[in-house]
Amino acid sequence: MITGKTKTLGILGCPVGHSLSPLMHNAAFAALTLDYIYVPLPVEPDHLGQAIAGLKAMGFVGMNVTIPHKVTVMPYLDEIHPSAQLTGAVNTIVIKNGKCIGYNTDGQGFIQSLTAKSITIKDKTAVIMGAGGAARAVVYGLLEYGIKKVIVGTRNVAKAQEFVKLFPKSRSKIEGCNWETESFIQALQECDILINCTPIGMSSNKETQLPIQWHHIKSDAAVCDLIYNPSPTDFLVQAEMRGHIIMDGKGMLVEQGALAFELWTGEKAPRKIMSETLDKFI
Ligand code: NAP
């Protein structure tokens, strides 16, 4: 029941109609009988600054941020947590004492989804395909939690080289290369965890295949895809056929949401309810 005391949260993006976050968070508030509501906040890029000021003025307690505002929202915030600073993007805002504080829960969310599948990262080698926003969050999480080496493969080597420069303190642990080179084949041979951070495999992008030569990959390597719809993607189907442990993007979606929920409410998020709610809609 919405009352005069109900605290308001939402998801800021353009568009937001496809987002499952309102369903997931409202189910979590209902499960814990917390007096919060989570609404869609469709905001055009030109109105982003006004929207942030308005949400602050209207007493919102926080929000999630999605495409295309994850980076452009940063100048409008009062403080940026290291998780967002190092990822270069914000996916969660907490509004407290009139201040907007930006966080990024994607990296830790990814790591927690690996942990839930008993995939360990300490002293392992990871190969990442793609060098966009999600790859940044994943690499931030992997470095925070003790990965030995990360190789970032892209279709465009310049993008991989730029990506590597984003992590100057971990320079010795990251390499970038074009994914059609010998260096990438060598990376696949060393790889313990292979992660698709591109949209290749989404329903809108099904015609393209990731350039993986499966025989190069160790049989005990884990294979992950950040995509959660469809699940499994063709990439994961092929990995599973070859006996690899696989993980889709749903765990990360739940975990990044759960971490945001905990930042807003201070309560432990009901992950099982959140996950079951998503299952009804994915
Ligand atoms: P992004 O910032 O647009 O980056 C996409 C990356 O994929 C770029 O490196 C891009 O390369 C590459 N790419 C795109 N299309 C390609 C193609 N046809 N061939 C080769 N490379 C291609 O996107 P993002 O935000 O990182 O998201 C990436 C994926 O992760 C999406 O599928 C998204 O849904 C998923 N995701 C899942 C979660 C979750 O919670 N599970 C969270 C965030 C994202 P160029 O730079 O060369 O274009």
Three-class HEC string of the chain? CCCCCCEEEEEEECCCCCCCHHHHHHHHHHHCCCCEEEEEEECCHHHHHHHHHHHHHCCCCEEEECCCCCCCCHHHCCEECHHHHHHCCCCEEEEECCEEEEECCHHHHHHHHHHHCCCCCCCCEEEEECCCHHHHHHHHHHHHCCCCEEEEEECCHHHHHHHHHCCHHHHHHEEEEECCCHHHHHHHHHCCEEEECCCECEHHHCCCCCCCCHHHCCCCCEEEECCCCCCCCHHHHHHHHCCCEEECCHHHHHHHHHHHHHHHHCCCCCHHHHHHHHHHHC
User: What's the confidence (pLDDT) of residue 146?
Assistant: 95
How much distance in Å is there from the Cα of 134 to the middle of ligand 1?
7
Domain 7-104+251-279 in this protein, CATH class: alpha beta
pLDDT tens-place string over residues 179-204: 999 999 999 999 999 999 999 998 77
How much is the pLDDT for 203?
A: 76
Q: What are the residue boundaries of the structural domains of the chain, listed by start?
A: 7-104+251-279, 107-248
Position 206 pLDDT exceeds 80: no
Measured in angstroms, how far is the CA atom of residue 179 from the centroid of ligand 1? 15
Strand partners, 196: 129, 225
Residue from 18, 25, 198, 248 whose mutation best tests the ligand 1 pocket (most atoms within 8 A of CB): 198
User: What single letter denotes the amino acid at residue 163?
Assistant: F
d(CA 76, CA 197) in angstroms, rounded, equals 27
- pLDDT digits over 125-152, tens only? 999 999 998 999 999 999 999 999 999 9
Pocket (CB within 6 angstroms of ligand 1): 106, 130-135, 154-156, 159, 197-200, 202, 205, 208, 226-228, 249, 252-253, 256
Q: Is the pLDDT of residue 59 over 90?
A: yes
- d(Cα 24, Cα 16) in Å, to the nearest integer? 14
Pull the structure tokens for residue 136: 């940044």
Spatial strand order in the sheet of 125-129: 174-178, 149-154, 125-129, 193-196, 222-225, 245-247
Span from the CA of 65 to the centroid of ligand 1 (angstroms): 16
Q: Which atom of ligand 1 is nearest to the CA of 67?
A: 25
pTM: 0.95
Catalytic hit among 5, 56, 70, 149: 70
* 9-35: pLDDT as tens digits: 999 999 999 999 999 999 999 999 999
Distance 91 CA to ligand 1 centre (A): 15
Q: Is the predicted pLDDT of residue 207 greater than 90, yes or no?
A: no
Q: How confident is the model at residue 265, as a pLDDT?
A: 98
Residue 159 is among the residues annotated as catalytic for this protein: no
Tell me, yes or no, if the two domains 7-104+251-279 and 107-248 fold the same way: yes
Fold of domain 107-248:
Rossmann fold (3.40.50)
Which residues make beta-bridge pairs with 103?
A: 92
